[in-house]
Structure 1
Amino acid sequence: MIDLITQKTASLKNDLLSGLTVALALVPEAVAFAFVAGVEPLVGLYAAFMVGLITSLIGGRPGMISGATGALAVVMVTLVAEHGVEYLFATVVLMGLIQITAGVLKLGKFIRMVPHPVMLGFVNGLAIVIFLAQLGSFGKNSGEGWLANTILEGSVIDVAWMQGPELWVMLGLVALTMAIIFILPKLTNAIPASLAAIVTISLLVIGFGIETKTVGDVASIAGGLPSFHIPMVPLTFETLWIILPYSVILAAIGLIESLLTLSLIDEITETRGKGNRECIGQGVANTVTGLFGGMGGCAMIGQSMINVNSGGRGRLSGITAALCLLAFILFASSLIEQIPIAALVGVMFIVVIGTFEWTSFRIIRKIPKSDAFVLVLVSGVTVATDLAIAVIVGVIVSALVFAWEHAKHIYAELSEEGESKIYSLRGPLFFGSVSHFREIFHPKTDPDHVIIDFQHSRVCDHSGIEAIDALAERYQTAGKVLHLRHLSPECIELLEKAKNLVEVDDMTDPHYHIATDKLA
């Protein structure tokens, strides 16, 4: 991804200003997703406030922004249309309880097993979805879309496009917003470029009386504090059977999108979030949201990218975004409604540019055809259907390819270094290959000094860690001296019996994450 990040470390000022920037971008998103779900705008805004606040307080990924999302809204719309909004609130409560259960059962670690091509496809697909979602802002408030009576009728690009001066003004403001965000970091990092762009464009439009679409043209965001509200549904098994399928689907989509976004932010910030804690945080947030009249939510990749690109790293950035959003609803709705949609569209276009993995065009001919196929497949399915289906399809295809290509499992190349015997491992060490891993080594017949080099291998899960510990115990029992080379820092941290046998080389040791409960 394009590195638009100007701040690598957390700071109070950056968190506060980036949180304010995110809050401004959350308003039209939350309103739009509420319309998609068929509920009132405040239902989406309350969800953005409560989910964002709670996950920032107790979630597993500081700096990640959560709120109402389109991936969940498209599932909710059928339920709302057939049974009403009260059933939606009950569904969101049950959705949260399912997510809490997933966290308690420590299922968050499995996101580390998502193959890299699937991750690239997810990122590219989401970038395309975010881009297409912005095209609706270039449409008039009413009128038949340009793709009426076609297979794409009713899609995000089927809008009645602006024409003439109205369109050119919109395009000009979007371009100016993007230019400010690109240029300002080269001059100063005093304030987030996105916030400066939004304020500048808003003052320009208000000061010169430029006619263009504003937040207020989409919907009014004025309201009061969310109030406690038990969903008014019959407490019967019939109700449970109505909401249970939706709750399971929403919980799965929410966790998949949240954990994949967590992994993405991990990569960008070079830190590690806690997947199991994030599952619990998302669950608590949705349970509370359902009891306070919100539509539920999950992590938002677009707003999360705005936050980290603006310097937001700590929990305070998400807390600030949530509280600012509430302040907008309570006190500043008249001001926020004057913000031009063009400024927010420009910010989101920058997010698209920063999110899309442009290097995939360069590497797609160099990587294995199976990986290229998975990358394109996941991107396409993400755009055509939804994230959960895309990831599941990608993981299944990748697993089949992996099983086919790794039929020979793990093996080792043997060599000597003085009086030491060297095992240079090849292939991944995971739960499926630990049995063959054990058979490679012969502690009883090996010389007194043995070196195992993991330079060309990768430890994927905790089963691999346990296999290394068990092997070290075998060599110790045989009275042999064992040395382990080129293990990642996480491997070393997780090892128990073999930790003291590792030779650390900061220059050549690899860095990667392991699917394990201890670090999740």
Structure 2
Amino acid sequence: MFELHASKASNLKNDVLSGLTVALALVPEAVAFAFVAGVEPLVGLYAAFMVGLITAIFGGRPGMISGATGAMAVVMVSLVAIHGVEYLFATVVLTGLLQILAGIFKSGKFIRLVPHPVMLGFVNGLAIVIFLAQLGQFKVTNSAGELEWLQGTPLMIMAGLIIITMAIIHFLPKLTNAVPSSLVAIVVVTLLVQSLGLDTRTVVDFLRDMTNDPTASIAGGLPQFSIPNVPFNLDTLKVIFPFALILAAIGLIESLLTLTLIDELTGTRGRGNKECIAQGAANTVTGFFGGMGGCAMIGQSMINVNSGGRGRASGITAAVALLGFILFASGLIEMIPLAALVGVMFIVVIGTFEWSSFRILSKVPKADAIVIVLVSAVTVATDLAIAVVVGVIVSALVFAWDHAKHINVNRSTDENGSTVYEVIGPIFFGSVANFLEKFDVNNDSDDVVIEFKRSRVADHSAIGAIDTLAERYLAKGKTVHLKHLSQECKLLLKKAGDLVEVNVIEDPEYHIASDKLA
């Protein structure tokens, strides 16, 4: 599905250098997401540090980068605007607790139910979103305080630096893999701008534009422990719980999908439930230390993987380096040209987009092609998590519609004169109507056997159909026997009671879901 030139093996040197690359790119994103949420830049930077560090140490996917994200920030903004930042911190704590519960109850395994077309649409939509986000760097604030597009020489300088950055990232691995090409590109372009005195926007310019503060800086101290200053009562819970529930769901969906994506890239297997618990612990801690919370960062994870980061050391390095920038090296980081970071992200876009999807659209079933395009479009229009939910629902409905047509029933008579119906295909809400039409209650013998060896009772609608069928035969004074019904299906049968006779000896055992490797 994806092709990368980087090694799949973990290497400490690669992890450390890759982590430094990620840390450089984390600064403007954390600041931007803090601005989206309506909080101070340090609230986003602290979240990137704490969430990134805790998930790197305890998470279920080494090499994955977590921090403050835009998907969660857009949910936070209304909470902050109405109730203030302290309510946000309380919400982040509760969000973490809900995510821990999701991990304890092993909900991480269900991300494996996301269909392949949804994943294709997800990565394509993600690439488009990352690309569109970079276009904002081509705008500056004019004298009237409004954003306008770069023009003339500034635009040419910006474009030239981006091309140089992308060229270094593309061609350097052909010469050597000793250091991450993204890190080299950022350093080279920064030195080039400083030595030639080029007039181009830097990280500090971006920060000051976002905050509308000409003295703004990423410099700060260590995050301080503080219990959120909110009333601990039911009214507060009513305010924060809906936000916490949405944030927990969005965070886990994005994190688990990113985990699956990194699994594909590296050819390894992450642990979803462990990641849920680690994300939850990270958000809980972050809420007590003045951070806005977060989840897996797909773009930063892609930078890390492309730069050779595979082990936990890459995420730990990124988090610790980010804190180091805040404490000691804010001046150096603030002089990095935005063009260098935009070039890095453009390479991520090219590597993330599944270009082969254009070729396969005409070859896969129409429903799958529609899902790919739909998920991509919804991702761009709304949010990654919403797009995935929409894609899964549409895929499930298509599956239900297709399998509703695949129910078949063969009628015969055995040596005892009983009417035998062999059911082929699953019985569920979409197929119950066809299932009931297959039986000839009036002309069947007084003893009817329904064989489920090649079928499965899937849901309550199926149970209702069997009850309806049993009542029809009872009304005619006839008896129904269900044969080869699975253990799970037998547990579902409540209403049939004495009407149903089950051949327990010949029943096989089926296991529907497993927590193994989840």
Q: TM-score, normalised by structure 2?
A: 0.78
Aligned with 2:189 (options 183, 192, 201): 201
Alignment partner of 1:335 is 2:332: yes
Name which of 210, 213, 220 aligns with 2:201: 213
Offset, 1:141: 3.0
Whether the aligned pair in 2 keeps the contact of 1:410 and 1:437 (CA below 8 Å) is no
The CA distance in 2 between the partners of 1:515 and 1:265, in whole Å, is: 23
Alignment of 1:73-472 (within 5 A): 73-142=73-142, 159-219=147-207, 220-407=217-404, 439-440=453-454
Q: 1:160 to 1:437 in 2, by over 3 A?
A: farther
Query: 1:33·1:70 contact (CA, 8 Å) conserved in 2?
Result: yes
SS of structure 2 residue aligned to 1:140: strand
- Provide, for residues 118-155 of structure 1, a one-character-per-residue CA deviation record: whole Å limited to 9, x for no partner: 11111111111111111111100346899xxxxxxxxx
For the aligned residues, what is the CA RMSD?
A: 2.9
| 1:438 CA displacement | 6.9
**Cα–Cα, structure 1 residues 394 and 216, in superposed 2: closer, same or farther, change >3 Å?**
same
Task: Give the match for residue 14 of structure 2.
Answer: 14
- Secondary structure at 1:134's aligned position in 2? helix
Instruction: Give the AA of the match of 2:54.
Output: I
CA deviation string 1:453-502 (max 9, x = no partner)? xxxxxxxxxxx9x99xxxxxxxxx99xxxxxxxxxxxxxxxx999xxxxx
Asked if structure 1 preserves the Cα contact closer than 8 Å seen for 2:2 and 2:265, the reply is no
Q: Structure 1: give runs of 5+ residues left out of the alignment.
A: 147-158, 412-425, 442-463, 468-476, 479-494, 498-513
The CA deviation string for residues 184-243 of structure 1, in whole angstroms up to 9 with x for no partner, is: 000000100100000000110111111110111122110010010111111121111111
State the AA in 2 paired with 1:62: P
Structure 2: distance between partners of 1:111 and 1:78:
29
1:352/1:143 CA distance change after superposition, 3 Å? farther
Q: Please give the per-residue CA displacement for 1:50-100, whole angstroms capped at 9, x wherever unaligned.
A: 000000111110000000001111111111111111111111001000100
| Counterpart residue identity of residue 285, structure 2 | V
Q: Is the 8 Å Cα contact of residues 4 and 265 (structure 2) preserved in structure 1?
A: no
Structure of larger gyration radius: 2
* Structure 1: 4+ residue segments shifted above 6 A: 143-146
Identity of aligned pairs, percent? 74
Partner residue in 2 for 1:36: 36
* Mapping for residues 455-494 of structure 1, pairs under 5 Å: none
**Preserved contact between residue 102 and residue 279 of structure 1 (Cα < 8 Å):** yes
CA offsets per residue over residues 418-444 of structure 1, 9 Å max, x none?
Answer: xxxxxxxx999x9x99xx997149xxx
How much does 1:162 deviate? 0.7
Deviations 1:304-333 (A, max 9, x none): 000111111111110010000000001110
Contact 1:47–1:295 (Cα < 8 Å) also in 2? yes
Question: Any idea what SS the aligned residue of 1:327 has?
Answer: helix
Q: 182-191 or 5-14: which moved more?
A: 5-14
Task: Give, in whole Å, the separation in 1 of the partners of 2:346 and 2:21.
Answer: 15
- 1:217/1:397 Cα in 2 relative to 1: closer, same or farther (>3 Å)? same
Q: CA 1:145–1:390 in structure 2 vs 1: closer, same or farther (change >3 Å)?
A: farther
Aligned length in residues: 430
SS in 2 for 1:406: helix
Scaled by the length of structure 1, the TM-score of the pair is: 0.78
Question: In 2, Cα distance between the equivalents of 1:144 and 1:127?
Answer: 33
What amino acid does structure 1 have at the position aligned with 2:517? Answer: L
Shift of 1:26: 0.4
Alignment partner, residue 5 of structure 1: 5
Question: In 2 relative to 1, CA 200–114 (structure 1 residues): closer, same or farther, beyond 3 Å?
Answer: same
SS in 2 for 1:439: strand
**AA aligned opposite 2:206:** V
- 1:110, 1:515 within 8 Å by CA — same for their partners in 2? no
Q: Is the 8 A contact 2:2 2:264 kept in 1?
A: no
Q: Secondary structure at the match of 2:385?
A: helix
Contact conserved, 1:377 with 1:394, CA < 8 A, in 2? yes
Deviations 1:388-419 (A, max 9, x none): 221111111100001111236699xxxxxxxx
Moved more, 189-198 or 388-397: 388-397
Please identify, of 257-266 and 6-15, the stretch whose mean Cα deviation from structure 2 is larger. Answer: 6-15
Measure the CA separation in 2 of the matches of 1:51 and 1:40.
Answer: 17
Report if the CA contact (8 A) 1:71-1:387 is conserved.
Answer: yes
Separation in structure 2 between the aligned mates of residue 281 and residue 21 of structure 1, nearest angstrom? 23
Q: Tell me which residue corresponds to 2:63.
A: 63
Change (3 A) 1:348 1:80: same
Secondary structure of residue in 1 paired with 2:224? coil
Corresponding letter in the other structure for 1:306:
I
- Residue 111 of structure 1 aligns with an amino acid whose one-letter code is I
Paired with 2:104 and 2:71, the residues of 1 have a C-alpha distance of 24
Q: In structure 2, the residue corresponding to 1:160 is in which secondary structure?
A: strand
Letter paired with 1:366: K
